[in-house]
Structure 1
Amino acid sequence: MSSNEEIDLLDFIKYAFNKYLLISFIVFFCIVMGGVFCYINNDKVTLTLDITPKVYSPFFYTSCNDDVECRNEIFKTLLVSRVDSRFSVNENKKSNTLNLKALVSRNEANEIENSLLSLNAALNAWYADDVDNVLQELNARHADNKSTETLSRAYLITVATKRYLDKGDIVIISDPVVVARYNTTMVLLLSALVGLIFSLLLVMLSYHNRQEENKCINCQFNIK
């Protein structure tokens, strides 16, 4: 860096220091706007929970055989049809878990939490219907002496599913987690940073204009 650049830098620092009131006002204004934003959005929250299937009913195996991804996709479709429509459902393939997320108000979050109480019952009812249908089909085929290895496997899966159903333990539903959608501290810090950057840009623009004016004055003086 040359001596001229150092002098310019020192000159700019002095100039910016003289504009501290402007800088302070802009930073303060941005912080206030950030506070207003947080106040307006104070009622907005994010509700999340995880659902993990512990067992699959016979329908999953007859539709997908041993294709795990296929079974998970069917379970996801089943879940979407029975969970509150405000939820978005995403699959975590590593943990074989479905992540549910809803962006709602605090009052709506309470409503959704209450609706989750009936979700397990709705899934149990669907599983129970599937088990009953398969048992009827198996009994009919057994009466016709049409027992095969596939039917034997279907029977074992049905019995295992019914065992979980009797316990009401076909899925694991985590406790809902409700957090504010916007972190107040982060919003205020970002607001202050934006205010500081914006004010410094204004000061730099003002400083540049002053330098240009000084050059013009010097040029006119030299001409005379």
Structure 2
Amino acid sequence: NPKLDEGNSSPNPNPKRRRPMGVAEALERLVKPLKSSKDDKFGKAVELFSRLASSEMTESNAAQFFDAVVPAFSVIEERRDAASGLRRSKEMALLNAFVTNSGLYDDDQKDAIRRWDLNVYTYVGLESDESFDFNKSLRKVRASFEALKPGAAAPPRARGAWCATLLKLLSKVQAAYTSRAFARENVESLLQTVKHNRQHFDEALRGDLDDLINELETKRTGLAAGPRLAIRRENSRAHPLRNKGNAIMR
């Protein structure tokens, strides 16, 4: 029953109303669930964020939306291999909320979104058994290495983070090289691109890049040589004086 004012039998004409939540406050409340390791909680937060972005994001508040998900994408990068299929679909939805509004961000933010795209879409594509999806992701990896060249049309602004992402992707490529026969020719072509752009790679990570290059080269050489036949070290029938039963040699 509604509360009655003292001495008045009619309902309170001015009941308290819930204060409408502003965009900044709503985004602040979504930061924690967007980092959640629970798929259902993360998924609900992504849905709320996407609706908010589609209806409220403008050039003046785009930075607030961006800042709200920076922690989420840091977690995505850290837990990349452990993500379930459901979670990855939600990660794609979160990324789409930015891609559809790409004109609202400054250059540094656009650069980060490009890197998130590599960590989400490209990474998943490199796990695909479908040649179309795999090769599409492979082309993105190639373009990302070529973006390191001096004078490239869209060079990465955060080179260290960009190169760290490329190392993860190249590791996925290496794992796919022997397991996906359809990928070998394109992977070998990518390997040449990687080697040509090695000197443009972040110096602190160049040793790790060299390790991956060497591992890929070793796998390529092994496949080119073909399977090795097992060689019996000692053949008991190879010598005419062996296996003579109990015969005595004089």
TM-score range with shorter-chain normalisation? Answer: under 0.3
Give me the TM-score of the superposition, normalised by structure 1.
0.21
Give me the TM-score of the superposition, normalised by structure 2.
0.19
